[in-house]
Amino acid sequence: MASWDEGEPGRVPPEPELKTLVVDLCQTHVWSQDTKLSIREASTQGKRSDTFVVSASWFSSASPREVFVVARPGYRAGRDDALTELAGERGCAPKIYFMGAVGDHHLTISEPAGARVGGDFLRWRPAVWKSKFYGARPDKRLARAYGRAVACVHGLADDLRQECARPPKKPVDALGAATVGGSLAKAPPASWPRRLRAVYRFAAERSSAWARSRLASRFVCSHGDLHGWNVVRTGDAIKILDYEDAHEGSAIQDLARYARKRHRANVETMLRAYHRRAFVGEPLSATQVRDMIFDVEIGLAHEVLYKLTTCPELPGGGCRRFHIPTYVSTVRHLPPGKLPAGPKKQSRAQLDTVEAAYSALDAASNGDDALAADIVAIGVFRASQRRMWALLARNVTEH
């Protein structure tokens, strides 16, 4: 027996036959045939699929209280199915109870994913909810859990090397792979402005010379799409969803996407947890931690360069919504009304900022130890701007 609720207003409801099929599969693969279930529609997050939450009126310690079901019409099983199943077994992703094609749909039944995390675990968490500035402390538990989860995903390549052996689709992931070596960073598209293409080629050619930690020592199964919707929290554990963009790449780029918030304690906690899971039994010194932070700053510079290649496509203003200092210190863009009107394409100042960051990384890797220390301490963008201001002040003084 089963009951169900109607879905979101304005959304085309799924066929009753699909709901019946979902209930039958849940009774077969999760519970028993005599278990009474209720089914309700869930948010699709803009994807072309039907999603449900199925709950049991009675459950035991051996069975879950509810499961999450995704039904994709016309979807063919791909290599990411094997990655998703193995990730569920390893604990990187929610546990999979069933995955396969049934009729015209491809169905996945898994444990509930949990709550979306976003960038909260890299922010300062107030000890008292009313206090925004006083009594705050970093939430190291989630940073530690995230580091372990990313290392878990990267380790999938040990068992599914063929499924992970796909070149990166996004230019930013190709740049990340270039830190390991090889020729995965392809030539930039001819549609990009000439100066932007030159910056991209410079970064692709020099990234492997800049990297200095174990993060760039090997290719891993890079996730490639670690945005807020794909990182969820279940208790104190972090789970990672959606392996469609998984590819052969670098650990640096996945970690850089969540190292934007400059709270060093949390970033260090994340990297230490990653190292313990990825390189079991190997000691980690303070110097190695600093080298890892330096490499993550390389990935952050790649992230900003990639944003400059895509921000003309942003709705409501193109690149004028993309404010680099805000991007590298928070997890969101400033709202359009907070910024002055600007160009829809890349501005000269934005390209100057990225060029300065890459120049700083290059100088630091060629013996400028003071600049390297600044990059680790305050981030590559602030360090490069500080160095540029110091040079300008010196020139004014000399003349």
Do 251 and 334 fall within a single domain?
yes
Hey, what are 208's tokens? 């492997």
Question: Where does a domain end: 95, 112, 129?
Answer: 112
- Residue 235 has, within 13 A of its CA and on its CB side, a CA count of 2
Residues 350, 207 share a domain: yes
Return the half-sphere exposure (C-beta side, CA atoms, 13 A cut-off) of residue 23.
20
Q: What per-residue confidence (pLDDT) applies to 61?
A: 72
Residue 329 to residues 76, 139, 326, 379: CA-CA distances in angstroms? 40, 17, 5, 9
Q: Are residues 213 and 348 in the same domain?
A: yes
85 and 220 housed in the same domain: no
pLDDT of residue 122: 57
pLDDT at 106: 87
Nearest to 24 by CA among 109, 148, 126: 109
The DSSP H or E segment spanning 8 is none
Same domain, 187 and 328: yes
Q: For residue 17, what is the domain's CATH number?
A: 3.30.200
- Same domain for 245 and 375, yes or no, is yes
**Of 112, 132, 153, at which residue does a domain stop?**
112
Structurally, how many domains does the chain consist of? 2
Dist CA 373 CA 218 (whole Å)? 25
Please give the pLDDT value at position 313. 62
Taking the mean position of all CA atoms in its chain, how far away is CA 97? Answer: 25
pLDDT of residue 381: 92
Residue at a domain's end among 53, 87, 112: 112
Q: In this structure, are 108 and 124 located in the same domain?
A: no
Residues 235 and 372 both lie in one domain: yes
97 and 129 inside one domain = no
Q: Is 98 helix (H, G, I), strand (E, B) or coil?
A: strand
Q: Are strands 105-110 and 115-116 parallel, antiparallel or unpaired?
A: unpaired
Q: Are residues 81 and 34 in the same domain?
A: yes
- 106 and 158 housed in the same domain: no
- 125 and 153 inside one domain: yes
Q: What is the pTM of this model?
A: 0.83
**pLDDT per residue as tens, the chain (399 positions):** 444 444 444 455 567 888 999 999 999 999 988 889 999 988 765 567 888 999 998 767 778 889 999 888 876 666 678 888 999 999 999 999 999 888 888 899 998 877 777 655 555 454 444 444 444 455 788 888 989 999 999 999 888 877 787 888 888 888 888 888 765 566 788 888 888 889 999 999 999 999 999 999 888 999 988 877 788 887 778 899 888 889 888 999 999 887 655 577 888 999 999 999 999 999 999 999 999 999 999 999 998 998 888 776 655 556 766 778 777 765 444 444 444 455 556 678 888 899 999 999 999 999 999 999 999 998 899 999 999 888 777 766 665
Rounded to a whole number of angstroms, the CA Rg of the chain reads: 23
CATH code, domain carrying 175: 3.90.1200
* pLDDT at site 284: 95
Question: Is residue 243 classed as helix, strand or coil in its secondary structure?
Answer: coil
pLDDT of res. 251 = 93
Range of the domain at 287: 120-398
Q: What tokens were used for 98?
A: 């069933």
Strands 66-73 and 105-110: antiparallel
